[in-house]
Structure 1
């Protein structure tokens, strides 16, 4: 992602004489942990061979490692900077490894699917899409949606004549396919009673959508923070939506085998991430400082993005969360965004958890 940000910035500097565009992905990342195992000392003569004892030692060491996959942005890279999570898990004899950064949820989920990470933070839409495609993932903890959040928006250029969603009829809007951007656009059109085929969706990654908007290749862009604040403060873009008509969940996604084989360790890691989030909620200036360091954005962008996103509170999903996520999954199926129905209750990690608050 660092390379993507640099490449993106270089492209902007070529197209404009103003400041470069820096990207970050709003970001999923994930860990695999195993329970501690004691190995035999001075095994009896009729025990397994010494080579098997060595193998057991190696398995024990491997099972005590948690791999946290991260994008640029979100709670996981902040936890990496802060250091408390690693200390807490080390005290429980769990070694933490960090893998990333990944450029977007799709590549992070692919890392989970390929056993290169165990826990990672994504949005609910790409998570549900990943599960529907057959990836062995489960939902560990969730960040509940906030109705008044300004963390997502449809943006237009500052000099655009587009002022409201109805003005998008006959226009092109950049979205990430099967992700939060496409979901936002479709929900806005639904709320405004605008047939979805009246607005052309152009499938672009955020890295490509921003220059497409600024150069006039598309008329709008459905996106999230911190892209919104970068676009508004550094490129004079303007939002035509305020709050989300169907706010989305954040999700800590877990590799299915890790959750099944090492539920206690996975739960410990998710709990530590939640505690880091609660600390940041009480120290918003620190949260903005972490964003400046992680994303290399300006202090103004970091402060606005932090305020727009709101609290970083993760909890274990309860029955109400499951019902709301199921409603989202069923709607995605109706819109033919998913290839098949996803059973959310069956997709929650088997950690024996209940909501933390």
Structure 2
């Protein structure tokens, strides 16, 4: 019966095709994507970059981009990282709110490509447990340590504004986190503005008093920035990075103990410190810049310009990557 055989043969081919498609659907995303990633992908990160640290420890980007050489470069803070990005030593980096403002004001060639949700609990201004400083108004006339151009810089600006203190009424002590902690512990400064995990480590080890955190002052946003060549020539790589970062965050949320151990193994921080700073970190998927976070970042830029802390005003939206368009 040729008609029946023809029908059965066609049905077998259809079932075979369906099975093949179902099999493909179970492959990992990186196996399905037709991505032309750059031959060299240099990623700048800090100890606070939880999602990136997880990806590094798991070797996830090396699996996602098997034809690329992935290099991980650690920095003590954002300003140093964005300088490297601007001069072509990095393709991709994650930092806090203030470093991109200073970089843009200085004419650095880079783009905001994505962000995580706000983390106002993850930064604070610390004083010694026995310090006479009790309110933000008590900061007048005091020495405050922080990394220049960092998120802690903006937190300090906002805290002084709230207290009605002019910038000229305090003495900023420009120090990177490690040096600032040493100065804080020996009493060389009156207060220290800092972010996690340095904030959490000091809470665990030194037992300071928290004069304020970022609530009501700074959203302490985290941004992902990229070089112009990466944005213009490899936009699908940027989107793939977001996929992996969001997957890493889901892992942190669902495997808190294992994630804390990975971060501790990388950073050398104690587990108590890592659990403390991860606990106050909200769910943090990564996505392209959205209107509210752009507006919030513009307030950061305007605050620095108002205090004459950057040489010119900037429009944040001018260097925001818009997916689907060239830069």
Task: Normalising by structure 2, report the TM-score.
Answer: 0.82
Greater shift, 130-139 or 162-171, is seen at 162-171
Alignment length (residue pairs): 290
1:91-124 Cα deviation digits (max 9, x unpaired) = xxx5251231222222211221222210011012
* Cα gap change, 1:130 to 1:155, in 2 (>3 Å): same
- Measured in 2, the distance between the counterparts of 1:243 and 1:184 equals 7
1:63 is paired with a residue of what secondary structure? coil
1:302 is paired with a residue of what secondary structure? helix
Q: Would the aligned equivalents of 2:141 and 2:171 in 1 still touch at CA under 8 Å?
A: yes
- Measured in 2, the distance between the counterparts of 1:341 and 1:195 equals 20
Shift of 1:281: 2.4
2:89 is paired with a residue of what secondary structure? coil
Shift of 1:318: 1.7
Map of 1:154 onto structure 2:
125
Gaps of 5+ in 1: 1-33, 37-61
- Measured in 2, the distance between the counterparts of 1:287 and 1:169 equals 41
Map of 1:56 onto structure 2:
none
Map of 2:187 onto structure 1:
216
Map of 2:277 onto structure 1:
305
2:41 is paired with a residue of what secondary structure? strand
The CA RMSD measured in Å over matched residues stands at 2.1
**Which residue of the other structure, out of 211, 228, 241, is the alignment partner of 1:240?**
211
Shift of 1:213: 0.9
- Measured in 2, the distance between the counterparts of 1:297 and 1:303 equals 10
- Measured in 2, the distance between the counterparts of 1:278 and 1:335 equals 39
- Measured in 1, the distance between the counterparts of 2:306 and 2:213 equals 26
1:194-209, aligned counterparts within 5 Å?
194-209=165-180
2:114 is paired with a residue of what secondary structure? strand
Q: Quick check: 1:325 aligned with 2:301?
A: no
**Which residue of the other structure, out of 93, 109, 116, is the alignment partner of 2:89?**
116
Q: Would the aligned equivalents of 2:61 and 2:70 in 1 still touch at CA under 8 Å?
A: no
Structure possessing the higher radius of gyration over alpha carbons: 2
**Which residue of the other structure, out of 234, 237, 251, is the alignment partner of 1:262?**
234
Q: Quick check: 1:86 aligned with 2:62?
A: yes
1:265-285 Cα deviation digits (max 9, x unpaired) = 222223322221232223222
Task: Normalising by structure 1, report the TM-score.
Answer: 0.75
* Cα gap change, 1:142 to 1:196, in 2 (>3 Å): same
Q: Would the aligned equivalents of 2:45 and 2:72 in 1 still touch at CA under 8 Å?
A: yes
Shift of 1:350: 4.0
1:333 is paired with a residue of what secondary structure? helix
Greater shift, 336-345 or 153-162, is seen at 336-345
Q: Quick check: 1:293 aligned with 2:271?
A: no
1:224-264 Cα deviation digits (max 9, x unpaired) = 11111211211222211134312121011101222112212
Map of 1:136 onto structure 2:
109
- Measured in 2, the distance between the counterparts of 1:333 and 1:284 equals 40
